[in-house]
Amino acid sequence: MDYPAQYDEDTESGSHRFTSIICEQCGHEVRVPVYCGNRFCPICSRPRLSRVRRRIEFMVKNTERKNGYSFKHLTLTVRSEADLPNMLRNLSRSFRRLRQRRMWRNYVDGGAFVFEVTSKDGYFHAHLHCIIFARFIEWSDLLSLWRQVSTGRGVYIQRIPEHQICRYLTKYISKPSGEGADPEDVEGSLAGFRLFSPFGSWYNLSVKFVDEKPGCPICGCQALLPVDIFYRRNDKLSRIYRPSG
């Protein structure tokens, strides 16, 4: 007997491919979206976003607290361009140069960044949204430093409560294209870029993170099998152990 490993299903975002996994212990079946190749797909990006959330929560929880340091929300902008891929490369290189500056290393312990892209009148505006764990930095000093390493247009920095950090970062991972920007243009231009990048002490914490293995939502068992393998194996076992008449 054939058991389909994958199947199409209508969703609010259109037709999408799914598969199922089955718990060996209780037989509960869970439908799982099959990755479609679009990193921003609202259906198959959910499991990835859940993993990123757990990683961010781990890093926030395990950040070594230091006197005079706090979590801050930092936005870095550059001059708008018509060539989005080139703009993203320049923005990424500029931020790398910023992190190499002595002043940055003296004030910032670690953090993470994500991209956002908006568009207006045929020009793209890419900027970085960052969470940093840092000492107090004079806004004017930070702006001056950013303009030394980039075509910097502006800097925004403000303290952020710990409970808002995860939500703030992940909303841009799932939708980096903002007002006026074509999602397909943004998706293609971001190919090859990490959507979420830790740095400094957060990079070291990220390496130490071990994600929890998913289990059955009913019984908690972690022995989950793809539906076709589950039924084929059970069919084989039933033939082997079928009582003789």
3-21 pLDDT per residue, tens: 555 666 666 666 788 888 8
**Measured between alpha carbons, how far is residue 1 from residues 63, 105, 235, 236, 243 in Å?**
53, 62, 9, 11, 20
Q: Which two tokens stand for residue 138?
A: 């004079």
Tell me, yes or no, if the pTM score tops 0.95: no
- Are 78 and 94 within one domain? yes
- Are 14 and 110 within one domain? no
Residue with tokens 């929880």: 61
- Is pLDDT above 50 for 74? yes
- Is pLDDT above 50 for 239? no
| CATH classification at residue 93 | 3.40.1310
Please compute the mean of the pLDDT values over residues 146-155 and round it to a whole number. Answer: 91
Give me the domain span that covers residue 116: 48-208
Is residue 221 one of the residues assigned to a domain?
A: yes
- pLDDT category at 173 given cuts 50, 70, 90 is confident
- Are 204 and 85 within one domain? yes
The Cα–Cα gap between 23 and 216 comes to 6
* Greater pLDDT, 24 or 63: 63
The Cα–Cα gap between 145 and 161 comes to 26
Do residues 19 and 228 lie in contact, with contact meaning Cβ atoms separated by under 8 Å?
no
- Are 152 and 235 within one domain? no
- Are 223 and 204 within one domain? no
Is residue 231 one of the residues assigned to a domain?
A: yes
- Is pLDDT above 90 for 70? yes
Is residue 41 one of the residues assigned to a domain?
A: no
- pLDDT category at 245 given cuts 50, 70, 90 is very low
Q: Which two tokens stand for residue 166?
A: 């995860």
- Is pLDDT above 90 for 237? no
- Are 20 and 132 within one domain? no
- b/e string for 7-46 if b means 16 or more Cβ within 10 A? eeeeeeeeebeebbbbbeeeeeeeebbeeeeebbbebbbe
- Are 19 and 91 within one domain? no
Domain count, the chain: 2
* Greater pLDDT, 85 or 7: 85
**Measured between alpha carbons, how far is residue 108 from residues 36, 149, 193, 196 in Å?**
38, 17, 23, 18
What pLDDT does 116 receive? 87
